Chain A
């Protein structure tokens, strides 16, 4: 019933607007079309300049409301992201100036040169000097932006530092898997045809490769050390996903069949970020940024950035994937519960 009422109101408003519009057409004809046209012209000219002024106030107001919710106030959580923020500020400054000049001219000219009986339009077809000016200046400004942009781009897309912590990330509908290379620093070989989740081999690791025996596999939550570069080797098992790391200003697609890489150096631990952001529930989230099916919006991973000590303690408690798959040959069959099961629990519990 309520809906019908709403529809009825909508239709009434429509009819009302239509009747006003129709009536104004008759009025303008009766009043003399030329006269009413000029009157409308003045009204629209005024609206244009009012739109400019209110619009600029709106821009300021919007910034006032939402600047605090962007990632700028908390700063980049990775060293490499700092240069992205710098680049962002340079671009905002340049584009902001151009935006203000052109929009103000657009609406101001529209208002100022509205139709008037006193003025004749100025026959002005071209002017080589002017046109050269506004070809040359944008070209120079853009060159500057390209140079700065590429300088930063090559900095963080170059090779990762040698001492980086290697972590393999695998995306699938709709969760993330992480693998650490263990003490030998080498990942065991994989072959997607060996994938067999029922027999404790969800990543398709080739157990014949001895390098795989000390690899550690966890789900959903990734641990890493503050201040130490992390190199992610990114895979996907099914469709394209994307490792989105907004706080670190980084992003890389996970493409089935084609591994990609991404590296960055975290600046603050999760605990430090809780203080910086003033949000006691803060966590570093990995958002899937490439549409991957109906669960796309829930494909979340968690990164816990911690001190070296905390990390060492955590990883010492993790059993290698090989021994988790073959419990009978495990030399230390500690009564520890399966970490992948624990880790899959809600975030709040794990991060205390």
Chain B
């Protein structure tokens, strides 16, 4: 028997299920794969664009980690790739800063915002609330193509002569406003601003669609409190995005004005390279307020979807209802609302009035309360479960571990008395990479491994998935845990070289270790990428409708649902999405009416 035959021996007899839906209209290649209005295809477009960006953004970090870990060495092959940016095989400091900036921008916005909520909101919202598609499939398609346009502009900025933006992903003016201050603040910065403006349009179109769909297109019986927690998480994420992204847009446009039209929103009293600028009366701090009014909710835009996915995957694989459903919804709401009132904790050392700062300390540390509720509820969900360690479940457990580690360090830096010491050191790098970067990615991986069968009708390879998980989990801690110590020594972030600093040069060995591990972890991600694309075409086929034994609606669709999701009527919902292990039954799907003798909860 050939290998393929072994793999697919179980599928005979189930073929009809996958093709049961009606082909209600003729689709060409263009309408099906390119300008598709099907939410599932748009989700895949977001996902694959996000994966491409993740590889690029991750590669940037490998390049600058080479410099940080091996400051004395040269890598002649770098010059072959990067030309004048790596003369003699050593990164130019200007390009180092460009890499740092683009790594942040790409991963925060293009991967963990578009790639995460773009993929899963699009894919899951209609499937889990029971809708044929988004409220406006056309706007949904536009949303992706604005993201694509933003990607093209950002990608183009990598190739301009003066290099891409290089003032850090937070692009604080005046550095980002004045071409004289930095090569990266020339045309590269304009392209960055244009790209981000297009990106914000994408986020708004998408977000409005998600909100409208969740509020209006739920199937019969699907009350708000019967929705899976993923839906609540995507809903709050979309609200956050719709309310905060426009503020960043205004900040970007004012910066474009300052750069190109001679206004002084952010500029005052500046002498640069001996040249006295005429601008007076502007405030660079204004930009920071505008930026962080988005920037802080942004980190929750990344982490809320990951929380939703984790809750769902964890409950399914523990074969137990999620503990404290209403508390989970309430804490999502609390986190989302508090996230609008804490932005100035990024600005404790800008000269912000200390009295004003104290309110931000209070509100920031308050976020720890709903976060603690979530963690304890996840722990209780595991307690007395019957846990299956699917790759998705392992990443969900990893998410909780990362969220605890990174969340606790937030208590340090949210307290202004400690932030004054730790601000802009490696402690900050460690904190947000663990709680937002790694945790965000873990949420994304949990979702991908879990819903891949629904997306492509095939499974991903489990062995590769387990290798991917364990290398990433161990590697992430090896990379970021020791960074806290560098931060406690005051070692500043965004330094190209520490060898001239009496106060920081003793960490050369550790920096080398971190760089080494990060290269291995990057390679493990390539393993995932390979597994993903290989499995789309060659993975083991899904042969049952509901491979994980889940209650939610998406598993009541055909194995490969067509446009419209359900071939016949949309099913009616009779219960919440978490009836696992109830009354001695493994699970009861949402579509099953409540029995007469069923126990209440």
Contact = CB atoms under 8 A, between A and B. Distances in A.
Instruction: Indicate, yes or no, whether A interacts with B.
Output: yes
Contacts of A204: 271
B97 A291 contact: yes
Contact of A26 (B3, B464, B489, B495): B3
Interface in A49-78: 51, 55, 58-59, 62-63, 66-67, 69-72
B488 A72 contact: yes
Contacts of B495: 296-297
A115 to B, nearest CB: 5
B13 interface: no
Interface in A248-291: 249-253, 255-261, 279, 281-283, 285, 287-291
Contact of A69 (B284, B506, B582): B506
A244 B361 contact: no
Given A249-B420, A289-B423, A239 B181 contact: yes
Interface in B266-304: 267-272, 274, 276, 280, 282-285
Contacts of A240: 172, 174-175, 284
B341 to A, nearest CB: 15
Contacts of B378: 106
Interface string A108-130: 01100111100111111111001
Contacts of A259: 351
Given A121-B385, A255-B350, A296-B494, A285 B581 contact: no
Contacts of A69: 485, 489, 506-507
B530 interface: yes
Given A113-B386, A149-B416, A285-B501, A290 B357 contact: no
A97 to B, nearest CB: 10
B284 A83 contact: no
Interface stretch (A38-46, A178-186, A207-215, A314-322): A38-46
Nearest to B477: A55
A98 B282 CA distance: 45
Given A99-B405, A150-B417, A255-B350, A122 B467 contact: no
Contacts of A88: 412, 418, 421
A195 interface: yes
A87 B365 CA distance: 15
A58 to B, nearest CB: 7
A102 B285 CA distance: 39
B384 interface: yes
B561 interface: no
A145 B365 contact: yes
Nearest to B526: A14
Interface string A298-336: 101000000000000000000000000000000000000
B385 A122 contact: yes
Contacts of A84: 417-418, 420-421
B168 interface: yes
Interface in A111-169: 113-116, 119-127, 130-131, 134-135, 138-139, 142, 145-146, 148-150, 152-154, 156-158
B522 to A, nearest CB: 12
Contact of A256 (B97, B270, B463, B466): B270
A148 B97 CA distance: 38
Given A70-B488, A149-B361, A150-B358, A195 B276 contact: yes
Range of interface residues on chain A?
35 or more
A26 to B, nearest CB: 6
Nearest to A25: B461
Interface residues of B, number: 132
Contact of B490 (A17, A99, A142, A244): A244
Contacts of B282: 257
B175 A135 contact: no
A10 B488 CA distance: 36
B417 A142 contact: no
Contact of A102 (B271, B326, B379, B601): B379
A25 B465 CA distance: 12
A301 to B, nearest CB: 12
A126 B323 contact: yes
B6 interface: yes
A25 B276 contact: no
B380 A295 contact: no
B401 interface: yes
Contact of B424 (A30, A149, A193, A242): A242
Given A135-B373, A300-B501, A289 B425 contact: yes
Given A17-B527, A59-B481, A238 B272 contact: yes
Given A125-B321, A126-B323, A238-B181, A25 B386 contact: no
Given A152-B417, A157-B357, 14 more contacts: A22-B461, A58-B481, A70-B488, A87-B415, A110-B387, A124-B384, A125-B324, A172-B271, A238-B271, A240-B174, A247-B503, A257-B282, A281-B502, A297-B497
18 contacts: A29-B9, A44-B389, A69-B489, A95-B411, A110-B389, A119-B384, A120-B386, A121-B386, A123-B582, A127-B324, A131-B376, A150-B358, A150-B416, A150-B417, A153-B420, A240-B284, A253-B350, A257-B284
**Which 6 A/B pairs are nearest by Cβ-Cβ distance?**
A246-B490, A257-B268, A260-B351, A157-B354, A121-B581, A21-B463
